[in-house]
Amino acid sequence: MIGRYVRLRIGEQVRALAFIVLYLVAFQMLVLGMTPANAWRVSAGIGLVVFGLACFLEGLILGLMPLGERVGLKLPQRTGLVVVVIFGLLLGVGSTLAEPAIAALRAMGGTVKAWEAPLLFHLLENESGKLVIAIGIGVGIAVAVGMVRFSYGLSIKPFVYVLTPLLLAVSIYCALDENLAVLLGLAWDAGAVTTGPVTVPLVLALGMGVSRSIGKQESGDAGFGIIMLASAFPVLAVLFLGMALDANVPRAMPEAEFFAPERRAEVGALFASDEALRQYVYRRGNAAARQAYHGDADAYWRTVQGLAEPFSRQMLLGDMPLNEWLQSRASDAERARLLPNAERGGEPPPAAQPMGDVLGEESVGALRAVVPLTGLLLVVLFLFLRERVRYNDELVLGILLSILGMTVLTSGIRTGLAPLGDEVGRILPRVFRSTPREEGRLLLESFDPRDVFYVYGPAGERTGYFHLRDRSGKQRAEVFEPERYDSASGRYEHVVRSMPLFRADLTFAGIGLVFLFAFGLGYGSTLAEPALSALGRKVEEISVGTIRRKGVIHAVSIGVGLGLLVGVARILYDLSTLWLLLPPYVLLLFLTHWSEEDFAGIAWDCGGVTTGVVTVPLVMAMGLGIGSELNVAEGFGTLAMASVYPILTVMIYGLMLRARQRRSIREAEVAGDE
């Protein structure tokens, strides 16, 4: 019986993940013509994701959700509203700080260029602690407001009518300021990442418990709507934090001007020290920025030549290998000045982190996520409510499975899904380019000109080629450029270019494939989200089967796919996040008015559960990768699109269900009369 049960649960996750994994691999191999790098490691990571998802969902069902629902049921009966609100605030803050997706959001600071988006850079690099606390406070306020709403049996619709226009009004105000405008994508994305596999089950269970305690268990909307609040308040919190920090942050400006000596006092506020600023300009800036930083040409060239020495290189580049800097950051003049004195061979590429170390690091995060929240619920249950846990064995098993599942799940995403999505996302812009583009440079040591072979063209022209093996192990012929060969050192500097997949007259087909990929990525990754699965189960349970779990999941997945399509279009054409969010939210105000109360809360909650541990790494890697390739100031905002469109699709799905039910009732009445 146990073996059959385990096979059933793992089979569910295999089916949920199969689409997104096969989709990414097929797109990379058939469309981009590349095989996944580190295929065995990626395959092992995907296997961990399957096992981790099964364990984590089972742990939620057995442990955290029943515990949260019991606390929510008993707390209003034994204490006053003030205690309920304070508990909701603490639970909201604690669950948000434990969300794995929050760490992914903080890690994206390295993708932002300080001179193009100073406030965004400052917030992610220097004030990331304040950012996380602001997001947590936003979720805490949302849960507290939700407890008040449930305690008084208030409809979700007035909250929608007040919060949505307020969010849009504050966003419009920020859009009028050049520094605050680039913060909009991050703020709206922050509202999306707060509602993941930890927050959603807990606050849903708590809300349903409070609803039952006041006699709303017969209502289909009991407990729903709180996820919508937990997505809205963090957006306001991040925007208000940005406004508070904006006064002490410089404006966006050209790169060379940003690093010039006369800007040193103003720009220095973004960095911990002058050494940190100098390292940043060498790691992220171009040659013009480095020249502007030094002011004096002689000092600049002395510093560049000093990169040949290990100590100076460590001070200026940190852990960045010299070869990587030469390929991706150095100008031709810098390479010419540095190469004669540089050490032969350079640094070896970093080895992949051992799987045991990954599991160890992720187990710490899992313990930090699950144990404090479980402790908070148990303390309230035992000390304040004087209640006992009904099924101790199930609770302990559920907590252990939650910890084990989150450890294995996040480890698998880190070693399997995220690298696979990142690899596809980095090369995705090749699809719509119609001309080759330089991607870096490769120093070939001990190059032998005798390995060059020549091919003659129809007009008698002669072109030299040599064979080069790429990361996937494939051998291909590359054009030999004699001027890049240094006979004295035996080095050949090969320019790595990405060739377009389509001819110039088929560029629109390439863009169409980018959109198709974005839709498929959103649809497939959402099917595997544990938070959505938990919400779908509750919807089916509360509606007594009238609203099917699979129907809700597919409606949400279609919405996420459409949202990612719009998000990618925003990056490709550098569109404003605000003007893409305004139309769907205005339309939702009208649809909310027409929708029945029970489905309104469900639909708005669906927008908050779409972006969790599976979707966030894939979507953010894709969005920021494309943004970096196209030199867009910031690639945030894609998650925000992936949150609003599911609300639309689920709202429309609910209206269609109600219309079908009314039609069936009328047909039954007509048949009865006959």
In angstroms, the CA 52 to CA 407 distance is 7
- Of the candidates 484, 481, 441, the one whose C-alpha atom is nearest the C-alpha of residue 463 is 481
Both 466 and 599 in one domain: the answer is no
Estimate the share of the chain in helix, then strand, then coil, as percent rounded to the nearest 5: 70, 5, 25
pLDDT given for residue 293 in this prediction: 92
Total structural domains within the chain: 3
For 596, phi and psi rounded to 5 degrees? -75, 155
Which two tokens mark 253? 């400006």
Cβ contact 142:232 at 8 Å: yes
Residue found under tokens 């072109």:
463
Both 115 and 208 in one domain: the answer is yes
The most confident of the ranges 43-47, 100-104, 469-473 is: 43-47
H or E element at residue 467: strand 462-469
In degrees, rounded to 5, the angle at the alpha carbon of residue 425 between the alpha carbons of residues 439 and 409 is 135
In angstroms, the CA 531 to CA 560 distance is 14
pLDDT given for residue 518 in this prediction: 81
In angstroms, the CA 156 to CA 166 distance is 16
Both 236 and 152 in one domain: the answer is yes
In degrees, rounded to 5, the angle at the alpha carbon of residue 360 between the alpha carbons of residues 609 and 190 is 25
Residue 228, CA atoms < 13 Å, CB-side half-sphere: 30
pLDDT in tens, 124-171: 888 888 888 898 898 889 888 888 888 787 888 999 999 999 999 999
**Could you tell me the pLDDT band of residue 231, with boundaries at 50, 70 and 90?**
confident
171-175, 239-243, 461-465: least confident range: 461-465
Both 238 and 293 in one domain: the answer is no
User: Residue 218: is its pLDDT beyond 50?
Assistant: no
H or E element at residue 455: strand 453-456
Both 295 and 414 in one domain: the answer is no
Cβ contact 305:334 at 8 Å: no
Which two tokens mark 34? 């590349």
Strand order in the sheet with 491-498: 437-444, 491-498, 485-486
Cβ contact 494:439 at 8 Å: no
What is the arithmetic mean of pLDDT over 480-489? Answer: 81
Q: Is 613 helix (H, G, I), strand (E, B) or coil?
A: coil
- Of the candidates 516, 558, 523, 517, the one whose C-alpha atom is nearest the C-alpha of residue 651 is 558
Both 231 and 276 in one domain: the answer is no
For 630, phi and psi rounded to 5 degrees? -95, 5
User: Would 347 be classed as within a structural domain?
Assistant: no
Both 531 and 629 in one domain: the answer is yes
Dmax (CA) for the chain in angstroms is 100
User: Would 442 be classed as within a structural domain?
Assistant: yes
What is the arithmetic mean of pLDDT over 12-30? Answer: 70
For 454, phi and psi rounded to 5 degrees? -120, 145
What is the arithmetic mean of pLDDT over 361-385? Answer: 82
**Could you tell me the pLDDT band of residue 331, with boundaries at 50, 70 and 90?**
confident
Q: Bridge-partner residues for 497, per DSSP?
A: 438
Boundary-marking domain end, from 499, 516, 541: 499
Nearest 10 degrees: CA dihedral of 414, 416, 422, 423? 140
Nearest 10 degrees: CA dihedral of 603, 604, 610, 612? -140
User: Residue 419: is its pLDDT beyond 80?
Assistant: no
For 420, phi and psi rounded to 5 degrees? -65, -45
pLDDT given for residue 500 in this prediction: 46
User: Would 134 be classed as within a structural domain?
Assistant: yes
Q: Bridge-partner residues for 443, per DSSP?
A: 493
Boundary-marking domain end, from 458, 476, 499: 499
Both 242 and 260 in one domain: the answer is no
Both 532 and 650 in one domain: the answer is yes
User: Residue 235: is its pLDDT beyond 90?
Assistant: yes
For 84, the domain range is 2-249+362-429+508-666
In angstroms, the CA 600 to CA 350 distance is 50
Give me the helix-helix angle, 615-629 and 549-572, nearest 10°.
10
Both 415 and 492 in one domain: the answer is no
Q: Bridge-partner residues for 437, per DSSP?
A: 498
- Of the candidates 331, 226, 76, 186, the one whose C-alpha atom is nearest the C-alpha of residue 606 is 226
pLDDT given for residue 242 in this prediction: 93
Both 227 and 259 in one domain: the answer is no
Q: Is 183 helix (H, G, I), strand (E, B) or coil?
A: coil
User: Would 629 be classed as within a structural domain?
Assistant: yes
User: Would 671 be classed as within a structural domain?
Assistant: no
User: Would 346 be classed as within a structural domain?
Assistant: no
Both 480 and 392 in one domain: the answer is no
The most confident of the ranges 287-301, 491-505, 628-642 is: 287-301
In angstroms, the CA 228 to CA 219 distance is 18
Question: 496 to each of 15, 328, 622, how far by Cα in Å?
Answer: 39, 10, 22
pLDDT given for residue 185 in this prediction: 86
pLDDT in tens, 52-71: 878 887 887 888 778 877 88
In angstroms, the CA 14 to CA 21 distance is 10
- Of the candidates 656, 624, 650, the one whose C-alpha atom is nearest the C-alpha of residue 185 is 624
User: Would 673 be classed as within a structural domain?
Assistant: no
For 492, phi and psi rounded to 5 degrees? -125, 125
What is the arithmetic mean of pLDDT over 105-125? Answer: 79
User: Would 593 be classed as within a structural domain?
Assistant: yes
Cβ contact 174:181 at 8 Å: yes
User: Residue 600: is its pLDDT beyond 80?
Assistant: yes
User: What is the chain's length?
Assistant: 674
- Of the candidates 369, 378, 324, the one whose C-alpha atom is nearest the C-alpha of residue 98 is 369
Boundary-marking domain end, from 499, 532, 547: 499
Alpha helices in 107-156 (DSSP H): 118-125, 128-152
pLDDT in tens, 618-656: 676 666 656 655 655 556 778 888 888 989 998 898 888
What is the arithmetic mean of pLDDT over 548-565? Answer: 86
